[in-house]
Amino acid sequence: MHTLPTKLKTADERLEALARSASNVTLLKYNSGNWTISDNPVPTDTRFVLYPDQVAHSWTHFEAGKVVTDITAVVADDENGSSELRIVNGKDRKDLGIDDESKWELDSTGKRRDPWVYGFALPMMNLETRAVVVFKIASVGGMGAIAGQVLSFTQNKHLGYPVVTLSTGSYRNKKHGGFTSFPVFVNVGFDKPPAPEIASGGNGGDGGNSGGGGDGARVVGASKVAVLRDREVDAMDDDIPF
């Protein structure tokens, strides 16, 4: 029997609770061309089922590389949000505070870094172990990779959920010099079973089952994602502390 809280939480308190629960999520990380889970390298032949209809977007507040607040919503369910305008649960950057740039922390290049970071989270499952992980990313290349999978899924729902392996690419970074790596999903097939209800929550377990993808998936700004190679951008993958 579930016990209801004696005092109802405000919207902000519920969001803070979500941020605390999100700390239990098993994250798939990408950094400098390397894919890891709990600091362990992911073998290149590992196959994952992606759930593009459960992609979430978020505003995350960092301090000293640690998550302080995470405002998150599944894109398909966020009626008051917009991935193109970077609005999550009705909040865009100007609603979040901490606007005095002189108080922002310095990044690795010595420039002031906005403590609020906008990004995407893609739930996925190891096809062999059935372990669920979430790929959270805020770089231009990472969000482009997720947006591309969402666009492909919305156009090919009849095929099922995409099965991928993990790879990497790079582009010449004209602003910072050298090359910047970005994550690549290599499609190797499709999976038909219903998706677990994981979104950006959970603890890396198998999760429950939902009714599948349905018709509610929303393209997360895919039309805004341009070809990355030789493109001048401000974002550097290694500066995002996920």
What is the tens place of the pLDDT at every residue in 97-135? 998 999 999 988 788 999 999 999 999 999 999 999 999
Strand 132-137 and strand 27-31: the pairing is parallel
Structure token pair of residue 5: 């809280």
Q: Per-residue confidence at 224, pLDDT binned at 50, 70, 90?
A: very low
Triad 137, 84, 75: Cα angle to 5°: 65
pTM: 0.72
End-to-end CA distance of the chain: 36
Report the percentage of the chain scoring pLDDT > 90.
56
Per-residue confidence (pLDDT) for residue 57, from 0 to 100: 96
Among 50, 120, 113, CA closest to 88 = 120
- Residue 6 has a pLDDT of 53
Predicted confidence (pLDDT) per residue in 154-202, tens digit:
999 999 999 999 999 988 877 766 888 899 999 999 997 666 655 444 3
- Which residues is 126 bridged to in the sheet? 48
Q: For all residues of the chain together, what is the average pLDDT?
A: 78
